[in-house]
């Protein structure tokens, strides 16, 4: 048949009338092929030639198929207690959508209430102590703070009165000593004035005795007695002068002791007041902490979110400080797709590669797909548990850029973190012919090898 088809065109055709008289074998050989058959053979050859040329130039997308799930682009919200607590109730369920301020769970407030009551008592006492110290410094009556009991106020009033009485008694003793020194000083000054007059008289007496002695009317003994009396009077005057200086010094020292006593007492009260204020500040900080702990006995949602996970705790269970009780995914954060890429495909993928996201719960044949773009790619591989075993993968994040190709979606449709999906990431293109040539190249490149 093929020989007849490829027969030379210059061979002369045998007339149909003559062919009928040839043997059957020659009749079949000499009978020309039908025109339709020849056209089919030519069409097949032309089609094969066209397909070969088309395969050499036509390109198809290189797509890497991945799988993953919808996640939040921000960190999840971890709910954990600040201290060891007992769970009283859990008011939400897995997958619940909560608004900001909605109650998630309640903790037993017994311990926090006890701490708050104790701190409140300490704060009231410290305020009363500060009021008493301020009253001692200013001399004004004690002004008790709000919340102080009559017994506490009476105790501080008595303490204030006792301290002021002690201060007054000590100050009275110092004032008495000062008064005595002042009286002694005044008496000494008067005595000094009299002594000064005696010195003047003694000096006149000596002058007179000396004059009389020079005239020969008196003996030398009388003159010497007058001079001796003057010398004794001067000595007494000097002693009195020294005594006056000592009394002045004692008076000045006692006055300084009085000022020092008052200053030391005020400094001691001021130091106690300063320490009391520091203690009050610490107590108030503890009160704020206790108040916050009491508020946190009712745990509320910090923002609009979806309950992603709840720890396996029942009411009455004791949870430790910092132990995760619940995980929330914020709703106001943009969602994206977390996909896991095989290590064999990592060499082709680059940031900003376009991708199509197909939600497993909405078949793309009916509902279409979401448009995306590869946002980032992990720098190191991690192990992923799969039904076929553990395998190394790279985690990538695909930013959702649009929903133009989604269709027929329900009216209440919304993306929820945790939705599983498959994603196709376009990493380039290749010609159709490579699907034939590359396997052949691989066969020839990996065959006929020495073991």
Reading the chain (451 residues) residue by residue, the pLDDT tens digits are 444 444 444 455 656 656 666 666 666 666 666 777 778 888 899 999 998 898 888 888 888 899 999 888 888 888 888 777 888 888 888 878 888 888 888 888 777 777 778 888 888 888 888 888 888 888 788 888 887 788 888 888 888 888 888 888 888 888 888 888 888 778 777 777 777 777 777 777 767 767 776 676 666 776 677 677 777 777 777 777 778 788 788 888 888 888 888 888 889 888 988 998 898 888 888 888 878 777 778 888 888 888 888 888 888 888 888 888 888 888 778 889 999 998 888 888 888 899 999 999 999 999 999 999 999 988 888 988 887 888 899 999 999 998 898 998 888 888 888 889 999 999 888 888 888 887 888 777 776 665 5
pLDDT at 366: 92
Closest listed residue to residue 130, CA positions, set 116, 119, 118, 144: 144
In a domain, residue 369? The reply is yes
pLDDT at 207: 74
In a domain, residue 173? The reply is yes
In a domain, residue 380? The reply is yes
CATH number of the domain that 86 lies in? 2.40.50.100
Q: Are residues 118 and 94 in the same domain?
A: no
In a domain, residue 33? The reply is yes
Total domains in the fold of the chain: 4
pLDDT at 226: 67
pLDDT at 7: 47
Q: Are residues 338 and 303 in the same domain?
A: no
Say how far apart CA 25 and CA 1 lie, in whole Å: 12
pLDDT at 32: 65
Q: Are residues 188 and 244 in the same domain?
A: yes
Q: Are residues 266 and 170 in the same domain?
A: yes
Give me the domain span that covers residue 32: 2-57
User: Got the DSSP string for 38-57?
Assistant: HHHHHHHHHHHHHHHHHHHH
Beta bridge partners of 319: 85
In a domain, residue 445? The reply is no
Q: Are residues 340 and 362 in the same domain?
A: yes
pLDDT at 359: 93
Kindly tell me the burial class for residue 293, based on how many C-beta atoms sit within 10 Å of its own C-beta (0-12, 13-18, 19 or more). Answer: buried
CATH number of the domain that 414 lies in? 2.40.30.170
Q: Are residues 212 and 228 in the same domain?
A: yes
pLDDT at 15: 62
CATH number of the domain that 205 lies in? 1.10.287
Q: What CA–CA distances, in Å, run from 117 to 54, 81, 139, 150, 325?
A: 87, 21, 33, 19, 28
Q: Are residues 283 and 194 in the same domain?
A: yes
């Amino acid at each position: 048949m093929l020989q007849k088809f490829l027969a030379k065109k210059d061979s002369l055709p045998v007339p149909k009338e003559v062919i009928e008289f040839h043997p059957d074998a020659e009749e079949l050989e000499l009978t020309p092929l039908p025109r339709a058959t020849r056209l089919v053979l030519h069409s097949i050859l032309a089609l094969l030639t066209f397909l070969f040329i088309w395969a050499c130039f036509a390109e198809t997308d290189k797509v890497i198929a991945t799988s993953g799930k919808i996640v939040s682009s921000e960190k999840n919200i971890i709910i954990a207690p600040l201290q060891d607590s007992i769970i009283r109730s859990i008011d939400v369920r897995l997958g619940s959508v909560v608004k900001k301020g909605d109650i998630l769970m309640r903790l037993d407030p017994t311990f926090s209430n006890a701490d708050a009551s104790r701190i409140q008592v300490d704060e009231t006492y410290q305020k009363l102590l500060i009021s008493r110290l301020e009253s001692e410094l200013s001399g004004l009556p004690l002004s008790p703070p709000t919340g102080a009991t009559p017994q506490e106020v009476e105790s501080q009033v008595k303490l204030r009165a006792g301290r002021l009485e002690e201060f007054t008694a000590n100050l009275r003793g110092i004032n008495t000593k000062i008064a005595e020194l002042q009286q002694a000083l005044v008496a000494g000054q008067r005595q000094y004035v009299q002594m000064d007059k005696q010195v003047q008289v003694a000096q006149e007496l000596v002058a007179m005795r000396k004059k009389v002695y020079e005239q020969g009317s008196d003996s030398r003994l009388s003159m010497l007695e007058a001079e001796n009396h003057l010398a004794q009077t001067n000595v007494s005057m000097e002693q009195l002068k020294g005594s006056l200086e000592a009394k002045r010094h004692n008076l000045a020292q006692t006055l300084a002791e009085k000022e020092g006593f008052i200053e030391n007492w005020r400094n001691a009260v001021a130091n106690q007041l300063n320490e009391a204020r520091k203690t009050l500040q610490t107590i108030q900080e503890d009160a704020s902490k206790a108040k916050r702990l009491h508020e946190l006995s009712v745990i509320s949602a910090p923002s609009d979110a979806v309950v992603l996970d709840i720890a396996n705790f029942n009411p009455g269970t004791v949870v430790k400080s910092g132990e995760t009780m619940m995980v929330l995914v914020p709703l106001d954060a943009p969602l994206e797709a977390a996909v896991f890429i095989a290590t064999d495909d990592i060499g082709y993928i680059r940031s900003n590669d376009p991708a199509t996201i197909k939600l497993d719960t909405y078949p793309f044949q009916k509902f279409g797909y979401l448009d995306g773009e590869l946002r980032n790619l992990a720098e190191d591989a991690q192990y992923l548990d799969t039904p076929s075993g553990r395998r190394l993968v790279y985690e990538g994040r695909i930013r959702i850029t649009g929903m133009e190709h989604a269709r027929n979606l329900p009216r209440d449709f919304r993306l929820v973190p945790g939705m599983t999906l498959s994603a196709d990431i376009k990493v380039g293109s290749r010609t159709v012919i490579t699907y034939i040539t590359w396997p052949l190249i691989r066969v020839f490149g990996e065959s006929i090898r020495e073991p």
